[in-house]
Structure 1
């Protein structure tokens, strides 16, 4: 189907007159296609504004499914790029930046750290340069993380079991919650042995 056939006749005449300085019947199909493809070219854009808008995005962890989390994380930045008419240009020239922005948007922080660490490994270097495989890879990691997170709830306890045994209330050492010496501590025994 010709592009010309998709445009209303009144609009066609206006475009022909004011944009091409010609009549409708003298405009070729390639001219019509070229005219409408100009809409894809970005106008002057402050890229810092685009970066700031994308940096504010975070993965929504309130959604229970990994697909929902990742689809949202893919759609929101594309919406911002569409708003500034930069989607095609970003996917052609800025794959590394897209990967970096998606990597920074991961949530919760433990998952974000895991993704950042795994990206530094030699076997995962390929994901730094292409956003589509990166998103598929992160979706797989997210599945594993959500399974792990479900069975291993977050604990503020130390990873060292000896430290956990020594901790009292509110993470303080001893059993008094940091309010003084414990009953059986050397300091308490010394104080009891002294007669005032």
Structure 2
């Protein structure tokens, strides 16, 4: 029997998130069990709720989680129970694309982020004895506890309020990454940002850090 946890279940396309009890597997090789302290709600979650991603249901979504490691599976290095972590997207770190440092374009990225299961096809969550589609971005952070992979967890200072940094896992890194990694904005350059949601605001903050002369 798995660990009883609470999760926000999506049972039908466009339906409400319903809080219910689910069972969570023990962490397998390379996995961490994380007690979720906070989770952002990204537009991608709402898009998949609306059916655009054709994610199988019932499901547990959420991919901007932050929390505390409670247990680790075999082969985990660099993490131990009690560590504060921010969760992001999965990458295998073993394919040709990952070897080139392009983790967002991992050749196993779909299986690890969008299939509704672990990359090997197994399901970490069950509801009323039946599999629940989860492992969304290999986390499904709309739950009290999740299984994440060590490759999509980042250790953070335990003194930092986790509810403030949960969105770093997607929205903030998207906006800041566009400016610092894709555009590679240089000091003195100018930047126009259209839209001031979390992604746009992250881009603005990154541009300020980079020394933009005008935003």
After TM superposition, the score normalised by the length of structure 2 is 0.25
The structure with the largest helix share of the pair is 1
Bigger relative contact order (CA 8 A; separation at least 6): 2
After TM superposition, the score normalised by the length of structure 1 is 0.27
